[in-house]
Amino acid sequence: MELRILGCHSATPKPDEYPTSQALAVKNRWLIIDSGEGMQMQLRRYGVKFGRIKHIFISHLHGDHVYGLFGFLSTLRLLNRQTEMYLFGPPELKPLLDTVFKHTQVELTFPLHFRPVEGDGFRRISDEKDFEVYAFPLKHRIETHGFLVKEKPAPRKLNMDAIRLYPEIGIWAYHNLKAGKDFVTEDGRVIPNEELTLPPPRPRSYAYCSDTAYDPSIVPYIRGADVLYHEATFAEADRDLAALTLHSTARQAAEIAREAGVGKLIIGHFSSRYKDPQLLLREAQEVFPDTELAYEGKQVIF
């Protein structure tokens, strides 16, 4: 997987700081997760080709997570896109889009398939050939969901040195071997698949926790993720303000990462009150050392 941070600051855009938006590549296919203002300009800046984007996931309808969506879809129309797009988000997003497009006279040139994300619990919302996406509720001022993107297991790899020891094994058998099946010789002898193949790379996963108060109930949903992005709007000195606005502190984000046993934590959605986010990084690293700051253009390959 490849993660590209397009924007990671809260609410108010600045010349070099953009509201929340991310691009995630899975098997060379790009997914957009949230769409703050300036998202399409950031895609251009970091070389993410529009034509390779087929899925957009919106966590909630606060403006700093969705205002960039309208311009992006309109641009795709101007580019005469024909390939279908899948959009996932709160049910209210669809009538909002319809209203904007009606009054701005935008008629899309491509099929836009909207899939509402709502309700409680952990559930799969997208099932593709190489990956699947799950949604789970977060604790914020309006209905908000986090997302878990999981690679599907790849086929097993052929061990050609071992296969050559058995002349009976022809190319016709390779598909079954990659699928994990044993090989049966003409005289009925079973050759275990493990002797003829090598295990594939371990499937990777990415967890995205948008705006949310500290909520340990999400830990089972994101347990063991290779990379977790969790909002960290406030420092511990402003813990009361975090609770009031249903956001998290950097330390609370780290506590979630520690309890979930993730591989790496990336914190973002910083309040503009902090001139140097290193303060937030230090507080998170006291709890979860493998923590990194998000910043515009940050690339994480895992």
Query: How many angstroms separate the CA atoms of 195 and 208, rounded?
Result: 38
Question: DSSP characters for the chain?
Answer: -EEEEEE-B-SS-BTTB-BSEEEEEETTEEEEEEE-TTHHHHHHHTT--GGGEEEEE-----GGGTHHHHHHHHHHHHTT--S-EEEEE-TTHHHHHHHHHHHTT---SS-EEEEE--SSS-EEEEE-SSEEEEEEEE-SSS-EEEEEEEEPPPPPEE-HHHHTT-TT--GGGHHHHHTT--EE-TTS-EE-HHHHEEPPPPPPEEEEE-S----GGGHHHHTT-SEEEEE--B-GGGHHHHHHHT--BHHHHHHHHHHHT-SEEEEE-B-TT-S-THHHHHHHHTT-SSEEE--TT-EEE-
Going edge to edge, which strands form the sheet with 264-268? 123-127, 131-138, 144-151, 205-209, 227-231, 264-268, 291-293
Query: How many angstroms separate the CA atoms of 73 and 66, rounded?
Result: 12
Query: Is residue 226 flagged as an active site residue?
Result: no
Choice among 16, 34, 64, 161 that is catalytic: 64
Q: How far out from the chain centre does Cα 123 lie?
A: 15
Assign residue 34 a region: left if phi > 0, alpha if psi is -120 to 50, beta otherwise?
left
Active site residues: 64
